Structure 1
């Protein structure tokens, strides 16, 4: 076990990322340039296609602008959803582009049928527009890729800064593999000791100063230490493994070729860029709307608590959030006002296996109304104020009290690398019925590694079901 001061020291030295509301820096600095270039070229390609078709078939040019903007938006959104603006080889996946543009044109035909304002083109015009648009967009992407490869070859544009971690015996082979890609600038090299517990934070600080965005690690350097990938990933650094011998790995990986060698890449699961803002905007809007709609419920609960037992209707407790930063979480008070003092006397009754969490099924500190509020999780409602302030998200790992975090071992700190949530995988998978913290950790990791807005919606809907059924609540 690690002492609490050790945890705090380790966490506060790890660079912040976009999953904290106070941080707005982006990781790979040139991502927005690539996006602007691709969007511009695609827009010009679509406009060129419209101009060519209407120059040949349309007698009334006043009909051009409204349908052009409709077509532009639909096709750009379709290309974006398909992932053709993402980094990597997808930008010149011409078959994927063709399928996406075909789908967008099918959607345009549906709009043509449903909307009288849409120009009444004949089938020949639509077919020609599809052929021209597909050809021009793919040609534009080909031109971008050709120019980029030429610029890289002649060192006109900068390369991604990468770092190698492997043994001295593997160094030459690793260098040769990475250099063959002609798109990386090798900023430095270190041996296995860079991953040792005493050197990890220094290694991360070194990578930060070098501007490294990706790190290549030989499989031999990271055997039995796969949790270390998180130290790099939560700093916005993509982890690649260069296996000298391929062995089964416990989790899904992206597999691609680097210099003729199979490379296993752990992509960062960090919620960054547009993902962060989508999640943050949704959290803020939903929390504000819910607070406005349910204000009478808050008022009734507040009055009920005051009548039921003496003391403030609200309770604030210090919890540990993103990167070990402490904050005050809001709850409706469900216990006696001296509950924190009584906890020390009740530690012997703790029902959790490893003692990290503190759970007692029939906790004598809980008030009469408190039992009802806990059964339906109504005591958690004030945490929406924490969501509005950006200290929490609607969905994420639950923030734990300092008493629990102080008992963490090193691998448990992974769950502190995302913004904590009002609900999460743990809550919809058993809540208080889960008394083994390792199960809690595995559920949190499952959420972090598979995050999407659709998963957030799924957890929120399941939370409602769990609360109504009073599952695992006490």
Structure 2
């Protein structure tokens, strides 16, 4: 919200010696000030109402001492709510961005505040926070606060989808960085990009900075994002002009690839640095994942044993040959292992592949994919359609050669065509399913897209992500998406 019309400083045309960027002729509030404060006031009001309601419920239904409150007890509740709100605010839960949606940290904060309040007020004569009231008040405060926050977050998302209460933004970057910058800005879902400028027009030879600033003023921009900040010729002029117009400036390092989400921003000599600390017990992630894989795979094989026997019988009745097909694949650290599948092709399928290489639908030829492959048996089409041919790979998981989720292990023929950057996928256990499988499977015809999905999975791994991929795999398989 702006109280004055943005002032375009015509003194740019005058002598630079007369220009003092620190002293604009008119003062104004920062752009987007009203939206930020309105959001903060709403969040504080909702949190306070939720916490007050929680204590009121405890007073009415739990606390047996002094059932009819007096003014002293009402004042005590207000003090308790004020303390909790102050602690929530001090830890940054009313700031913009992802912090206010960090429900786990919010729960920890409310837990700490309740323990603190219990230690402080339980010895008091009012006996308001008794041991019998502590746990119900803790659970109710957490529940009501998280529910109200979740509700307001979804309401804000809905309103912003309608194009309302978004911050008007402007992007300055190189053309080749434009898509990545827009995708990065779009993650927050709170910006409306109204314009952009090619940063090459702001270098010393061309320097159209004045025209760019006028465009920013004309569009009523609240926040400006700049990539490759050092390329701009008059950087400080841009900074001060935006500053005096109440416009927030973001330096967006789109060329910086964050390799771990568990990072910490630190300042070093005035420059931002990302700190990546190893866990207290290194290597624990592997063993957590391995235990989960083994328990899940072993349990599934035992429960689904009749299904395995039924599929084996169908394969035997369908075509001559063995029930299982074992193929050498490349796994962790480039080691070879035998991957097990239910046989879905004729016995001499490997020899026939050479005659089908010309029909390969993968653009770079690294993988081999052909629709309506003539080598597939009738029952094999059904098994592939629902990925039932992959079930024996749970034996590979039990043996520790594979994981439930990870980059798909590829045959020697495919690995021999790898470029250097492709071998990164061999640094983790291969998986029965992965981001590739739930993101299009055979519909992806560019191997670099496969690598990008594998690397994305490796960067952001968590047990929760594995569970999400497993659940999505079930949906993809039932929907027969991208399988042939």
TM-score (norm 2): 0.48
Bigger Rg over Cα: 2
Q: TM-score, normalised by structure 1?
A: 0.49
